[in-house]
Structure 1
Amino acid sequence: MTRRFTVLLALAAGILLPAAFTEAATVCKGTAINPVTDICWQCMFPAQIGSVSFGMGQESAPGNITTPTCVCPDSKQGIIAGLSVAFWEHARMIETVKDPYCFPILGTGMDNPKPGFSSGTSNGPAYSDNAYSFQQAHYYTFPAWSILKLFMDFPCAEQGGFDLAYMTEVDPMWNDDSLSFIINPEALLFANPVSQVACVADSVAATVTNPIDPLFWCMGSWGSFYPLTGSVDSSDPLSVNAGLAARMLFKLGRESLLFDTGINQCSSGGVITPILVKSNYRLQIARPVRGTACNPIGRPAMIWGSGKNPPWGAGANSPDNFLWSMTRRRVCCVGYGLN
């Protein structure tokens, strides 16, 4: 009896699930991500090995490196002595979408179990007292080098595969500002004009070089990190979605799901950062239109966003369904074990 029920359940899933995906695909369809052409590969530069920097990049050589040589403890080899290495690593993908369960990186979507629920919105001042936007977000592991089988013997690069690690449609704290207070109670301290005026300096710094890390509540010209939800007091689609991608990083760090690889070169897995170190991350727009630069958090959209959200398109490539390639600082110690 149990075996018969299992067979019937499998047959039902085989019939119903493709139908659900087919129905969703009529609404959300597009071109799946191509890691060769859709990623800005020059964003891995500049890099540093020892005291030598190479490659043209938008900012100085990355990472918290103070000496060209390094000595680190190792659980297997006792001690590792070698050269300090730093570079920008293509490691994650983040989607910010107006259509729930739409996955631009896959070029398809899933059927919304509650049609219309948690859908993205964007209202300008003409529709309410203040501009307001809301989007859903998806977070993927995407170690590009490993996926393309490049530098497999390089100990600093993350090894692994593509995977959906987080989606906000099933996270009530992303969809409710009041519930998000559980993980960001300090938001009350920065809900005042003085704290927000300080973000002007962060915006200027992000425009010229890198954002100011001590101003951790600021996202430069993209607004404030708080609350850690999908709601933003703005209606500019590029700034809103870039800001939500950055918020996703902050939120995952607060939940101990994000490890910063640009802080400690002796920690290969990274360091948990409840307060995001903004300068260790950059974002490149890949959908609806591919960008050619990786921008620090808070850089004004007028610099990099021209023509990146056209009013035409369909499904995953439609306006306000965005895909962002995240590069992060990676520092490590490459050498030999000393037992």
Structure 2
Amino acid sequence: MNLSNNITIIALVTLFLTVPVAYGAGGACKGKVLNPVTDICWQCMFPVKMGSVSYGNGAEPAPGNVTSPVCACPDSKGILILGVSTAFWEHARLIETVKDPFCFPVMGTGMTNPKPGFSSGENRSKEYGDSDFAFQQAHYFYFPAWSILKLFMDFPCAENRAFDLAYMTEVDPMWNDDSLSFIINPEALLFGNPVSQLACVADSVAATVTYPIDPLFWCMGSWGSFYPLSGSMIENNPLNVNAGLAARMLFKLGRETLLYDTGINQCASAGVVTPILVKSNYRLQIARPVRGNDCIPIGRPSLIWGAAKNPPFGTTNTSPDNFLWSLTRRRVCCVGYALN
């Protein structure tokens, strides 16, 4: 190994050793590495529906658009597969919404902000301006819990993917500027009026009782509006803000064709691109700062699920206003055998 390679390796090792110290030596970012066994609400995967039979007691009805107990789908080679229609809630992704840029609660550490204070979160009430306002950064992770734990590896509906950071908004100008976000959501002009926002009352009621109303796609129930698809919200309740920004992240990724909905077509195992988010196909569980025991539909009021979930001074291992959400999504698929 030559001298230049040695220098490169030493530099990389030094970088990774010093990055956590930058926050640990007094910075605001604290975290504890996520434990998929204890920090995930496994009850949220129920009920599981196979054919016309549901298994398990879940807080919500069996998921998916399954209209028949049997199914027939072509595989990648065009061979017809006959099987049983299956639907369940899949632990698939993690979303962080953080006040401190480059802070990663899921990994229990963070990176040094190149310019301290740059792109930092903010939360102010009306007494400091014309309206409530909040801003947070967001990170999106691949987190197929079954694959990570090596469970159900022969189950054809399970996603086989490694844990990975897929998106971070600190380097996305559209997340940091409402005007730039107009590039991907020009229809926001249609919903910036009192009449459109008044319709969100019905969505809030529906999300409180069961599921949000998908045709009211611009509404996030009690969390506000999906538009603009940026990191700022006219709200100052930290729980509503961060849950809403996690949902916005999903909408934004779908608009950028980076999100595939697995709860629409049981013959499309990889999912379907949805520029308009199907809200009822996703639920969130708060995992940081304080773990929650519920998977909540988009728009459900934090008054129901948010008590003591964001302590003012954080906890021993977490910091306030740096949130981690476990995402469960609907998955429908066809479990069967090919007709050769």
Asked if Structure 1 and Structure 2 have the same fold, meaning a TM-score greater than 0.5 normalized by the shorter chain, the answer is yes
- RMSD of the alignment, in Å? 1.5
- Any conservation in 2 of the 1:174–1:229 contact (CA below 8 Å)? yes
Which residue of the partner structure matches residue 73 of structure 1? 74
- Any conservation in 2 of the 1:238–1:309 contact (CA below 8 Å)? yes
- Any conservation in 2 of the 1:108–1:316 contact (CA below 8 Å)? no
Give runs of aligned pairs for residues 171-190 of structure 1, distance below 5 A.
Answer: 171-190=172-191
Q: Which amino acid aligns with 1:246?
A: A
- State the identity as a percent: 72
**Helix, strand or coil: the match of 2:174?**
helix
CA, structure 1 residues 246+78, in 2 after alignment: closer, same or farther (shift >3 Å)? Answer: same
**Helix, strand or coil: the match of 2:127?**
coil
Give runs of aligned pairs for residues 307-326 of structure 1, distance below 5 A.
Answer: 307-313=308-314, 317-326=318-327
**Structure 2: distance between partners of 1:102 and 1:14:** 20
Which residue of the partner structure matches residue 21 of structure 2? 22
**Structure 2: distance between partners of 1:23 and 1:314:** 20
CA, structure 1 residues 226+316, in 2 after alignment: closer, same or farther (shift >3 Å)? Answer: farther
Q: Any idea what the Cα deviations from partners look like across 1:211-253, whole Å, max 9, x if unmatched?
A: 0000000000000000000000000000000000000000000
Give runs of aligned pairs for residues 209-228 of structure 1, distance below 5 A.
Answer: 209-228=210-229
Single out whichever of 72-81 and 12-21 deviates more from structure 2.
12-21
**Structure 2: distance between partners of 1:272 and 1:54:** 29
**Helix, strand or coil: the match of 1:93?**
strand
**Structure 2: distance between partners of 1:337 and 1:13:** 49
Q: Any idea what the Cα deviations from partners look like across 1:71-127, whole Å, max 9, x if unmatched?
A: 011123600001000000000000000000000000000000111000000000111
- Is residue 2:39 matched to residue 1:31? no
Which residue of the partner structure matches residue 253 of structure 1? 254
**Structure 2: distance between partners of 1:129 and 1:60:** 42
Q: Which amino acid aligns with 1:318?
A: S
Cα distance, 1:316 vs structure 2? 6.6
**Helix, strand or coil: the match of 1:21?**
helix
- Any conservation in 2 of the 1:77–1:337 contact (CA below 8 Å)? no
Single out whichever of 76-85 and 302-311 deviates more from structure 2.
76-85
Which residue of the partner structure matches residue 234 of structure 1? 235
Which residue of the partner structure matches residue 106 of structure 1? 107
Cα distance, 1:11 vs structure 2? 2.9
Aligned length: 338
Q: Which amino acid aligns with 2:19?
A: A
Which residue of the partner structure matches residue 338 of structure 2? 337
Give runs of aligned pairs for residues 241-280 of structure 1, distance below 5 A.
Answer: 241-280=242-281
**Helix, strand or coil: the match of 2:222?**
helix
**Structure 2: distance between partners of 1:94 and 1:309:** 16
- Is residue 2:8 matched to residue 1:12? no
Which residue of the partner structure matches residue 302 of structure 1? 303
Q: Which amino acid aligns with 1:301?
A: S
Cα distance, 1:55 vs structure 2? 1.2
Cα distance, 1:312 vs structure 2? 2.0
Cα distance, 1:16 vs structure 2? 4.1
Note the residue ranges of structure 2 that are not aligned, 5 or more in a row: none
Single out whichever of 228-237 and 22-31 deviates more from structure 2.
22-31
Give runs of aligned pairs for residues 288-299 of structure 1, distance below 5 A.
Answer: 288-299=289-300
- Any conservation in 2 of the 1:30–1:314 contact (CA below 8 Å)? no
Q: Any idea what the Cα deviations from partners look like across 1:251-307, whole Å, max 9, x if unmatched?
A: 000001000000000000000000000000000000000000000000000000011
CA, structure 1 residues 239+280, in 2 after alignment: closer, same or farther (shift >3 Å)? Answer: same
Single out whichever of 58-67 and 197-206 deviates more from structure 2.
58-67
Give runs of aligned pairs for residues 38-57 of structure 1, distance below 5 A.
Answer: 38-57=39-58
Give runs of aligned pairs for residues 114-129 of structure 1, distance below 5 A.
Answer: 114-129=115-130
CA, structure 1 residues 99+315, in 2 after alignment: closer, same or farther (shift >3 Å)? Answer: farther
- Any conservation in 1 of the 2:96–2:105 contact (CA below 8 Å)? yes
Which residue of the partner structure matches residue 168 of structure 1? 169
- Any conservation in 2 of the 1:29–1:314 contact (CA below 8 Å)? no
CA, structure 1 residues 88+333, in 2 after alignment: closer, same or farther (shift >3 Å)? Answer: same
Cα distance, 1:18 vs structure 2? 2.3
Single out whichever of 54-63 and 25-34 deviates more from structure 2.
25-34
Which residue of the partner structure matches residue 86 of structure 2? 85
Q: Which amino acid aligns with 1:154?
A: F
Cα distance, 1:10 vs structure 2? 3.5
- Any conservation in 2 of the 1:203–1:221 contact (CA below 8 Å)? yes
**Structure 2: distance between partners of 1:205 and 1:150:** 35
Which residue of the partner structure matches residue 203 of structure 1? 204
Q: Which amino acid aligns with 2:196?
A: S
